Amino acid sequence: MNAPAGFPPSRDPQASMAEKLRQEAVEGPDPVHTAPPKKQTQIIAIYGKGGIGKSFTLANLSYMMAQQGKRVLLIGCDPKSDTTSLLFGGKACPTIIETSSKKKAAGEQVAIGDVCFKRDGVFAMELGGPEVGRGCGGRGIIHGFELMEKLGFHDWDFDFVLLDFLGDVVCGGFGLPIARDMCQKVIIVGSNDLQSLYVANNVCSAVEYFRKLGGNVGVAGLVVNKDDGTGEAQAFAQAVGVPVLAAIPAHEDIRRKSANYEIVGKPGGEWAPLFEALGVQVAEAPPLRPTPLTQEGLLGLFKGDVVGRDVVLQPATQEDMRAAGAVAKPSLEVVYEGA
């Protein structure tokens, strides 16, 4: 085997590595950057319970923002890979993880056109995830971001990058934007139900945890989807100290069009003012430091007949666990007087 170009032939890998390090050491530092700074891209991570309507919200929001003249990149970070399906009329786009595996097997490099697609000014891609039972979804997220960096992510010129994250999963990969300050702010999608607000509260807890460690990411606000007017989501937002950016009603027209993969956030349409206002809020809302609720505080937002707060916990006994076969036996413990 021939030695790598620029290095003397050697059978000792340690000697080759030492020579490589010496050559790197004599290289001068990169020049100081003196060019005018580029505009700052707003990178916003959107979290929420699975099925709560993140993809619906983001598809319509990104479409409206593009129609308003903004350069928008939408990135699906959910293993279900359904973030872009509404944007592309129900058509699935190849994921970064799947494409990367196929290209690697063929000895080819991934190109941006293999994984990024556009519609009416919106650029979109899906990170994807592993097959069921065959890998870690969080690790897939990390791998996807590493590949995007190789494709030039930090040099892309967008006004907004919207990241669609699954909020139910609390492993490290899904918390990446918060933990590593990869975004400036978080937006939560929730509804007037306990499970979605439980997830929202967990996201607030994650933001607060990393703020205590020196992080800078904050929560810009809550989008209430399928709002039925009962008010629990608004009460939650007020309790944790974040604004409600928009309340999307539980309306049959929205449900039907979304089920048919239609964009409702189009200029001039019935729901255009809603998404126009949401676009402004998303752009301008500052990142805030939330105050997460305790479990009891979260349950307190709901009526007792909804969450069962009147239930009393009764400790079980060994007799309960063994049913009819329980036999009381004297203790063999030795108790010393004066102990």
- Annotated catalytic residue within 70, 80, 103, 118: 80
DSSP one-letter code for 263: -
The gap between the terminal CA atoms of the chain, to the nearest Å, is 77
DSSP one-letter code for 298: H
Which ranges of the chain does DSSP label H, i.e. alpha helix?
Answer: 13-25, 54-67, 96-105, 112-115, 137-150, 176-179, 194-212, 232-240, 252-259, 272-284, 295-299, 304-307, 318-322
d(CA 84, CA 38): 28
- Annotated catalytic residue within 70, 114, 118, 168: 168
Strand partners, 75: 125, 163
Active site residue 159: no
List phi, psi (to 5°) of 95: -90, 160
Helix %, strand %, coil % for the chain, to 5?
40, 15, 45
Active site residue 168: yes
Residue indicated by tokens 């000895």 = 107
Active site residue 310: no
- Annotated catalytic residue within 54, 185, 226, 257: 54
Active site residue 303: no
48 neighbors 190 (Cβ within 8 angstroms): yes
Residues with a catalytic annotation lie at 49, 54, 80, 168
